[in-house]
A and B are shown apart, each in its own frame.
Chain A
Amino acid sequence: MTLIGQSIAMLVFVWFCMKFIWPPIMTAIEERQTQIAEGLAAAERGQQSLDKAKAESGDIVDEARKQATTILDQAHARANEIVAEGKANGVKERERQLAAASAEVEQETNRAREELRGQVSAIAVASAEKILQREIDPKAHEDILSKLAAEL
């Protein structure tokens, strides 16, 4: 009886297992297997695109660095140019002002000399007048006086 009962119990358990336990578990396992495989593939793809993006970003950074160097060089050149220009302008301006100043000085000197000459001739005429008050007519001797003044 035990023997028969056990056999029946076993067949019932096996039947139950076959019907209600095995299929859902196997389905779940197989589904998970495909999911894991897909996940791994996706991770692989992600890794690849990450590598690509890294390479790209490296390129971009290199490019930017090159550009920055160019810009810096240009700026340096421009700065040097400006400085040189300024220096040249300064020199020119100084020379110009120097020239103007010396011209003015010359002019002043000439005018002062003219004035002085006039005054000296006047003084000479006055002193000659005083000396020669009587007989000398300024009008008659003007040519002599002016010759004198010119010699001063």
Chain B
Amino acid sequence: MATEDGHGAQTSGEYIAHHLQNLQVCKVDDAWVWNQCAGNPMALNVDSMFFSVLLGLVFILIFRGAAKKASSGKPGKMQAFVEIVVDFIDSSVKDTFHGKSNLIAPLALTIFVWVFFMNLMDLIPVDWLPEIGMMIGVPYLKVVPTTDVNITFGMSIAVFVLILFYSIKSKGIGGFIGELTLHPIAPPMKGVGLIAAPFIIAFNFILESVALLAKPLSLSLRLFGNMFAGELIFILIALLGIWQLPLHFGWAVFHILIVTLQAFIFMMLTVVYLTLASEEH
């Protein structure tokens, strides 16, 4: 692994900044430009998208392969492994979500394995892929998609859409609006209190909206924060010269736990939110 010295004139500040810079492309004045997109909302983080889709495909290929070969007979090792994962997800989901849904368990499986794979990129030594990228002419390369807040937000927004969908599906639009406006303080429906009702409804709406929006926000920021911090510490350790060896090992071992735990939390919270959304009050 390259250290501060290995990068010649580069300061450690530049080293860290370089590692945290996405490979971006965006359209400026009708022309596609690379890496001059600071502040441009339409910028595409090519590296994050590339790695996340690649890992998604890895997930799809592994599990599809196992699913195709799945038989009730004696399972191969790969099939047994896939089945363990599937069974683990299935029991976790069944513990939480009691309704009948064909979507939630596969959703949980996809989220868990995909996020796990993306987090796992964190364990690849921080310089390997960026250095290779440099060699083939890619100036910036951020290899862990979950350290990109756009990626985690993308996922949590998809989950948010599902939350809205399930809320409306199980309660109807009226029920959903009612849930947003009639809790936690029930507005008076008759008498003098009727004057206060609009204020109470507005108050409820603000409160419930914050609660609703907090779900995807906390979901994505939790994952992003954990992975970003973990990656940053890997980068800092990589700056230490020879002392990085024991530290890197220790942090990597600890990070295996974080990687799995964060993937599991993301999955579990998604299931819990969808359960809440589809439950009658």
Question: Which residues on A are within 8 Å of B, measured CB to CB?
Answer: 1-7, 9-11, 13-14, 16-18, 20-29, 31-32, 35
Contact call A2/B71, Cβ cutoff below 8 A:
no
B75 interface residue (CB < 8 Å to A)? yes
B259 interface residue (CB < 8 Å to A)? no
CB nearest neighbor in B for A33: B72
For B106, give its contact among A3, A22, A31 (CB under 8 Å): A22
Stretch at the interface among B52-60, B189-197, B236-244: B52-60
User: Could you say which of B42, B43, B106, B151 has the most chain A C-beta atoms within 10 Å of its C-beta?
Assistant: B106
When distances are taken between beta carbons in the complex, the residues of chain B under 8 Å from A23 are 67
When distances are taken between beta carbons in the complex, the residues of chain B under 8 Å from A6 are 48-49, 52, 150-151, 153-155
CA distance A21 to B44 in the complex (A): 30
**Given contacts A9-B52, A13-B56, A22-B86, is CB(A2)–CB(B154) below 8 Å?**
yes
Chain B at the A interface: mostly helix, strand, loop or mixed?
A: helix
B135-162 interface bits toward A, Cβ cutoff 8 Å, 1 = contact, 0 = none: 0000000000000101101110110010
**Given contacts A7-B157, A22-B86, A28-B83, is CB(A17)–CB(B110) below 8 Å?**
yes
CA distance A3 to B158 in the complex (A): 10
CB nearest neighbor in B for A16: B60
CA distance A14 to B51 in the complex (A): 17
Contact call A5/B49, Cβ cutoff below 8 A:
yes
Contact call B49/A14, Cβ cutoff below 8 A:
no
**Given contacts A18-B107, A21-B109, A24-B67, is CB(A10)–CB(B86) below 8 Å?**
no
Contact call B106/A2, Cβ cutoff below 8 A:
no
| A14 CB to nearest B CB, Å | 5
Contact call A18/B102, Cβ cutoff below 8 A:
yes
CB nearest neighbor in B for A10: B158
CA distance A27 to B68 in the complex (A): 11
CA distance A35 to B161 in the complex (A): 40
For A35, give its contact among B72, B107, B111 (CB under 8 Å): B72
For A11, give its contact among B68, B105, B158 (CB under 8 Å): B158
- Considering the complex of A and B, which 6 residue pairs feature the smallest CB-CB distances, nearest first? A6-B154, A31-B72, A28-B70, A2-B150, A18-B106, A22-B106
Contact call B83/A17, Cβ cutoff below 8 A:
no
| A7 CB to nearest B CB, Å | 4
CB nearest neighbor in A for B87: A29
**Given contacts A7-B154, A25-B67, is CB(A13)–CB(B83) below 8 Å?**
no
Contact call A5/B154, Cβ cutoff below 8 A:
yes
B90 interface residue (CB < 8 Å to A)? yes
**Given contacts A2-B43, A18-B103, A22-B109, is CB(A28)–CB(B49) below 8 Å?**
no
16 contacts between A and B (CB under 8 A): A3-B150, A3-B151, A3-B153, A3-B157, A6-B48, A7-B157, A13-B56, A14-B110, A20-B67, A21-B64, A21-B67, A22-B86, A22-B109, A24-B70, A25-B70, A28-B75
CA distance A36 to B161 in the complex (A): 40
When distances are taken between beta carbons in the complex, the residues of chain A under 8 Å from B48 are 2, 6
B268 interface residue (CB < 8 Å to A)? no
B64-108 interface bits toward A, Cβ cutoff 8 Å, 1 = contact, 0 = none: 101110111101000100110011001000000000001101110
For A2, give its contact among B56, B73, B87, B148 (CB under 8 Å): B148
For B155, give its contact among A10, A18, A26 (CB under 8 Å): A10
B63 interface residue (CB < 8 Å to A)? yes
CA distance A31 to B79 in the complex (A): 14
CB nearest neighbor in B for A32: B72
CA distance A7 to B64 in the complex (A): 21
